[in-house]
Structure 1
Amino acid sequence: MKIDLYMHEQPKLLASLPTAIGDILSRLSTLAVKPERLVLVGTGSSMNALIAAATALEQATGALVTFKEPEAFLHLPPRPSAAPTLVIAVSQSGRSTSTVEAVRLSVSLGFPTLAIVGDDGSPLAETGADIVLMPIGEELAGPKTKGYTASVLSLLAVASHLGGKPLETSGLEAALDIALAQSDKAAQWLLSTYGIPDYIQVAGQHGHVGSALEASLKIAEITGVPTAGFDIEEALHGHVYGTTDRSLVLIIARDAAEAKVAANLGRALTALGPRLAVCNLSDEPTPYDLAIDWPAVPESWADATWALFPFQWYAWHVARAKGMEQPGMIYPNLGKQLNVKIRPVVV
């Protein structure tokens, strides 16, 4: 299946997902006690999803939140503590070698461990951790689209469950359909206006650091264009100096304060040559906004789920402009050569 078809599945999938996994969450022993310490484990898109949802998890629980790449977890696992601890791991495929081993270690050490996965037949589902199976179906293309957005929303559903405040998704599918279509047009506008940049920089704050990292990963995986993701504050402290008059800076702004920072950066940077656009999720307009009507939801952090729409489309359109008829991983066999996945047995 083509990446664009996976993208089109997202509105219906995301609108139904909180209800679909709600019963699972209510039955899990790992979520029966509100944690005081959260250890988030993942790599690649999974780690980006954890970063995107971390603010919501922290707000819902008041817990101390730490991030561990799986290899770092294996090298130095959390020490036992009197503080109730919850380890949350994410792997859309459930076949990331180091993640599977980290979850096995967490379970063996006695930590309550929750694994969010998209394949119930994967090695991750057989580690002994409590499992939240995301009902997303197959995503055969390497770069995750619906797998990423579903991971973020699943984590937000966990945060809502722990905080005792269910997610409200009524009317969400229709609003996401509109946002997805407008994101497609915005991505085409970026390409037709600025061409293929020599470098793309994406920046966001708080949960949208995860969005920026995932957006940059998606663009790099699919297009091969040099791309990086940063915290906005980090970008302002030097990384924008790495841009040229052929570069494109993309800012994700969640609220009015962030929109004002984005507008200020736009005025200063575009006067020097680089181009800039804002994925503006706030009510504070800037001269650089992509024309997208985003869903209005009570929980402001829920937008970390769908903020990726324009970046998914942008990667797809840039790849096609570079001659890739069916965009996918630009180096499709590299992950296999690096042995980052446990491959299913083919009979």
Structure 2
Amino acid sequence: MEKSGLAPKTKGYHCTILNLMLLTLAVASRQRRLSDEERKALLVRMDITFNHLPTLIEASQAWVLNHARPLIDSADIRLTGPARLFGTVQEGALKMLETLRCPVAGYEFEEFIHGIYNAFDERSTLIMLDPFPDERQDRLAEILGGWTQHIYRIGPQVENNGKNMPFAFINDPDFAVFEYIIPLQMVCARLPPVKGIDPAIPKDPHFHQKMKSKQLN
């Protein structure tokens, strides 16, 4: 196979968001929109979340290998979460699509309940990010649970039913984005090989040459 020079060039989800947040803190401090005490308090909160990530990574791997393995047989996956985690939902959906190579889409919760649910049947899979107790999230899981057995919920208060991932997330309002992407990234890292997929090898290695959509090295 020819070397195409198409390997990922970005820093990745965590590093990109962290860089943007640190840039924002630096600019806000320089423009005196943020006091030194406020900046230090934010960094302390950030440290609390980051110091918890190794435990989350370990729990995510256990969940994927022991409970989320049936995702390899999914033909249609939807992700949903609250507005504050919408970016995480979108990133997770994209990476799962690229690695599991089946249709995957992500929606904010309000968007999902205003039409998307109509496409669900017994073959559909739903992954729900549930950072806080929410009666409507519970109701959605109950309703769709009558249509499909493939519902996975991730959050600190979700039921331990052999499919969900209950975990003591820090749930910082500004830094939870660094937490909830981890279980989704673990799905992308661990399940494709089980499915017989090498995510590093495109389905068609010459796709962009045929499309003339990238300048090759």
TM-score (norm 2): 0.75
Deviates more, 1:184-193 or 1:218-227: 184-193
Q: Does 1:270 align with 2:145?
A: yes
Closer, same or farther in 2 for the Cα pair 1:199/1:181, shift >3 Å?
same
2:95 aligned residue = 218
Closer, same or farther in 2 for the Cα pair 1:273/1:229, shift >3 Å?
same
2:173 aligned residue = 300
What is the number of residues matched between the two proteins?
196
Structure 1 residue 335 displacement after superposition = 5.0
Closer, same or farther in 2 for the Cα pair 1:301/1:333, shift >3 Å?
farther
Aligned with 1:279 (options 128, 148, 154): 154
SS state at 1:308 partner? helix
The 2-side partners of 1:333 and 1:313 are apart by 28
The 2-side partners of 1:263 and 1:330 are apart by 38
Closer, same or farther in 2 for the Cα pair 1:329/1:200, shift >3 Å?
farther
Q: Does 1:327 align with 2:199?
A: yes
The 2-side partners of 1:336 and 1:155 are apart by 33
Using CA pairs under 8 Å that are at least 6 residues apart, name the structure with larger relative contact order, 1 or 2: 2
SS state at 2:73 partner? coil
Structure 1 residue 291 displacement after superposition = 3.2
Closer, same or farther in 2 for the Cα pair 1:170/1:293, shift >3 Å?
same
Residue pair 1:217, 1:227 contacting (<8 A) in 2 also:
yes
Residue pair 2:95, 2:185 contacting (<8 A) in 1 also:
yes
2:20 aligned residue = 155
Residue pair 2:158, 2:166 contacting (<8 A) in 1 also:
no
SS state at 1:254 partner? coil
Identity %: 18
Closer, same or farther in 2 for the Cα pair 1:252/1:160, shift >3 Å?
farther
The 2-side partners of 1:307 and 1:141 are apart by 25
Closer, same or farther in 2 for the Cα pair 1:171/1:231, shift >3 Å?
closer
Q: Does 1:236 align with 2:113?
A: yes
Q: Does 1:181 align with 2:58?
A: yes
2:3 aligned residue = none
Residue pair 1:143, 1:221 contacting (<8 A) in 2 also:
no
2:128 aligned residue = 251
Structure 1 residue 252 displacement after superposition = 1.4
1:297-320 CA distances to partner (integer Å, 9 max, x unpaired)? Answer: 7x4121112311111111233311
Closer, same or farther in 2 for the Cα pair 1:338/1:208, shift >3 Å?
farther
Closer, same or farther in 2 for the Cα pair 1:231/1:303, shift >3 Å?
same
Structure 1 residue 244 displacement after superposition = 2.5
Mapping of residues 1-347 of structure 1, within 5 Å: 141-142=7-8, 147-161=12-26, 162=28, 164=34, 165-166=38-39, 167-168=43-44, 169-193=46-70, 195-257=72-134, 260-280=135-155, 285-287=157-159, 289-294=164-169, 296=170, 299-324=172-197, 326-328=198-200, 330-331=202-203, 333-335=206-208, 338=211
TM-score (norm 1): 0.50
Q: Structure 2 stretches of 5 or more lacking a match?
A: 1-5
Q: Structure 1 stretches of 5 or more lacking a match?
A: 1-139
Residue pair 1:205, 1:232 contacting (<8 A) in 2 also:
yes
Structure 1 residue 337 displacement after superposition = 5.2
1:75-134 CA distances to partner (integer Å, 9 max, x unpaired)? Answer: xxxxxxxxxxxxxxxxxxxxxxxxxxxxxxxxxxxxxxxxxxxxxxxxxxxxxxxxxxxx
Residue pair 2:120, 2:147 contacting (<8 A) in 1 also:
no
The 1-side partners of 2:64 and 2:208 are apart by 28
Structure 1 residue 147 displacement after superposition = 0.8
